[in-house]
Structure 1
Amino acid sequence: MSGAPALAAGAVACLFSATAAVPLKRLAVRWSFTDRPGGHKKHLRPTPYLGGIAIALATVLPAMAALGLADERLTAILLAASAVALLGLIDDIASLPALTRLTVETVSAIGVVLAGVELTVTGGWPDGLITVIWIVVLTNSFNLLDNMDGSLGTVAAVTAVFLAGAAFLRGQPDLGLLLVVLAGAVLGFLPHNWSPAKMFMGDAGSLFIGFVLTCSAVALVTGQGPGTTIAGLLLPTLVATVDTGVVFLSRLRAGRSPLMGGTDHVSHRLRWLGFDARSVAMLLALIAVFAGALLSVTVVGWVPPLSAAIVAGGLAVGLISLLLSVNVDTPHRPVENPPRIRERRR
């Protein structure tokens, strides 16, 4: 499949997502299906959910129409991601126990692995287990990245575009089309979620995005050597990995559960330093661009994959160390436009 059909499908997904979000927003308001301020949530008024449904539909329907069911791996990714999106929607409506969420995510990941999306680490049965764990962990890392207006949307769009480029270069055009469609769906929803957000994607959207991106990254390195595998997994997930690392280490140090909501993520620390929500989203997107560029130069053979992974790993360690020094437990510094803050933390 050439790039033209992929771009056309991506444009359809973008228009679909942007348009579908409007009636879904009205429906959410009518049903009082909104995220209300309070506790650790910093947005100022009830904000409608259901944006994730627009993203999921705008990804699955155009991708299925363009690809059909010929590729078992992509069909499994789309079906499993749809199940994860439904899980997220239910969790948005009535908070689910962590065990229930992890069980559904694990079963979905197993389905993808059985379809042939699997890391090559040991060459034996542990590879399937390692792949399932990686998919579940990183899916939730992307989910946790959805804690401020536009943050996950910008990172996801950038990551999907660079992964799509890598897929085309590695001779996997169908996977490239799926990723272009995902990027289009996310970009179509982004104006609704840009600060100040008029709509949230909720767990339905963030889990769907995280699952598709993580599975796609695994699909790109299936059967590859150690260096290519490490680079192919770390680079597309760099922002989510840094955020999860910061949260996990800071809460471990403070004796708090890493599974609870909070305002100690990378985005919140950048807000404390004085950046507004839009600047935070753009900074995170720039990190994703850097990681995506590193991925691209490894795919074309300009830089050894392991060298790129070492650079990315060093950057991740440096960012985690730097951001951990930001004490978010102290009073927040003044910002330029506090009424426009729409930070969200489940």
Structure 2
Amino acid sequence: MLYGIAAATAALLLAAVLAALLRVPALRAGIVDRRRQRRLPLLGGLAVVVVTSLVAWTGQWTRVAPLGEGVGRLLVAACSVAALGLVADVWRLRARVLVAGTAVAAACVVPYDETGVLGGLLALAWIVAATLAFKGLDHADGLAGTVGVVTAFGAGACAAAEVMDGLAVLLSVFAAALTGFLMHNWHPARIGLGNCGSLFTGFLLASSLVFTRAGYELLPSAAVVFCLGAVAIADAVLVVLARGLARRPLLRRGPDHLAPRMRPLGLTPPGSVVLLGAGSFSSVLVGVLVHTGWTGEGAVLWVAGAALLVVLVLLRMPVQSPRRTESSQVRGQLRVRNG
């Protein structure tokens, strides 16, 4: 218990310091997000990966907090996916390369002896889909980090309920490191998560849920993992529907995610993130309660219904490109000054 608190505190402080230190090198090296008007450095995810790995392996090496069977392999695979994401941040790899690399890493961590062949294939597909869905959440300042922290605590609670102490400690350390990064990623962000951090986040969380639910029946497991990934899933479904109806390329970047579509409702960028974070907390809480048996599986239907309602409502909301939005804001400011 004391080690967990100390490890989480160390991870938070180290991630906050390292993210601040990596900002200038990222700007000088040109590792920036080119989707935005301002240059946003993208090495914040690297800080999260390094700190999480350093603190977790320190516990393993000292035998104070062993990771447990399979958890070390999971962390290595997550770091491999993060390395692939870092390459994508620097050289802009094609999406198919990221999908293939994530699938290979997922195939190495699925516990097939507990899931069976069919369950293992479904788990592999879930890890890949959830990883890419969390990558999609990195479209607004603070969103991927906020949802990631909430989901990590929920997954950690599920792991603790299964007496998987090593996995629970790893997830708590990861949540703390992500919180330290969020100190610099809240709107207006000074550093971004990038492919490195977003892929690491999605892969680690999705794989942890597979480990936690291995051995359970398929439908209850699907219900739990859906609740813990409801916001990321809703964002992915919204993007697929919006681009399919508009006949736009699915893998092309655009402002048709959750947060941009909430702007016409009068929400500010931080307000959208807070609202989506609250939604994530609610769905994760339901997932934890279902996993621990405190409530029935029927509660998942409320989460699914709420997510579907949000998708259908936001699907009708107009979206503007960041360039057009910024231009309109500038014109509005000029009118006020000249008026």
Flag whether TM exceeds 0.5 (same fold): yes
1:118 touches 1:127 (CA, 8 Å); kept in 2? no
2:42 touches 2:194 (CA, 8 Å); kept in 1? yes
- Give the RMSD, CA atoms, in angstroms: 2.3
Match runs of 1:34-49 below 5 Å: 34-36=32-34, 41=35, 43-49=36-42
Cross-structure match for 2:17: 19
Instruction: Mark the CA change 1:218 to 1:338 in structure 2 (over 3 Å): closer, same or farther.
Output: farther
Cross-structure match for 2:334: none
Q: How many Å apart are 1:7 and its aligned residue?
A: 2.2
Match runs of 1:226-237 below 5 Å: 226-237=218-229
Cross-structure match for 1:343: none
Amino acid of the structure 2 residue aligned with 1:186: L
Q: How many Å apart are 1:127 and its aligned residue?
A: 2.1
Q: Does 1:273 pair with 2:270?
A: no
The count of aligned residue pairs is 325
Q: How many Å apart are 1:329 and its aligned residue?
A: 5.7
Per-residue CA distance 1:166-190 (angstroms, 9 max, x = gap): 2212211211111101100100000
Q: How many Å apart are 1:302 and its aligned residue?
A: 2.2
Cross-structure match for 2:196: 204
CA distance in 1, matches of 2:52, 2:174: 5
Q: How many Å apart are 1:310 and its aligned residue?
A: 1.6
CA distance in 1, matches of 2:58, 2:225: 28
Per-residue CA distance 1:229-251 (angstroms, 9 max, x = gap): 02221011000000001000111
Cross-structure match for 1:53: 46
Amino acid of the structure 2 residue aligned with 1:314: G
Instruction: Mark the CA change 1:101 to 1:153 in structure 2 (over 3 Å): closer, same or farther.
Output: same
Q: Does 1:193 pair with 2:190?
A: no
CA distance in 2, matches of 1:158, 1:243: 16
CA distance in 2, matches of 1:284, 1:73: 32
Q: Does 1:9 pair with 2:1?
A: no
CA distance in 2, matches of 1:92, 1:119: 36
Q: Does 1:109 pair with 2:100?
A: no
Instruction: Mark the CA change 1:281 to 1:331 in structure 2 (over 3 Å): closer, same or farther.
Output: closer
Could you tell me the TM-score, scaled by structure 1's length? 0.88
Match runs of 1:235-254 below 5 Å: 235-254=227-246
- Secondary structure at 1:72 match in 2: coil
Q: Does 1:313 pair with 2:313?
A: no
1:48 touches 1:200 (CA, 8 Å); kept in 2? yes
Q: Which runs of 5+ in 2 are unaligned?
A: 331-339
Q: 1:262 aligns with which of 241, 254, 262?
A: 254
Mean CA deviation greater in 197-206 or 323-332: 323-332
Q: Which runs of 5+ in 1 are unaligned?
A: 340-346
* Identical residues among aligned pairs (%): 34
CA distance in 2, matches of 1:270, 1:96: 30
Moved over 6 A (4+): 330-335
Cross-structure match for 2:316: 325
Mean CA deviation greater in 23-32 or 261-270: 23-32
- Secondary structure at 1:303 match in 2: coil
1:117 touches 1:219 (CA, 8 Å); kept in 2? no
CA distance in 1, matches of 2:100, 2:277: 31
Cross-structure match for 1:220: 212
- Secondary structure at 2:262 match in 1: helix
Instruction: Mark the CA change 1:294 to 1:119 in structure 2 (over 3 Å): closer, same or farther.
Output: farther
Higher percent of residues as helix: 2
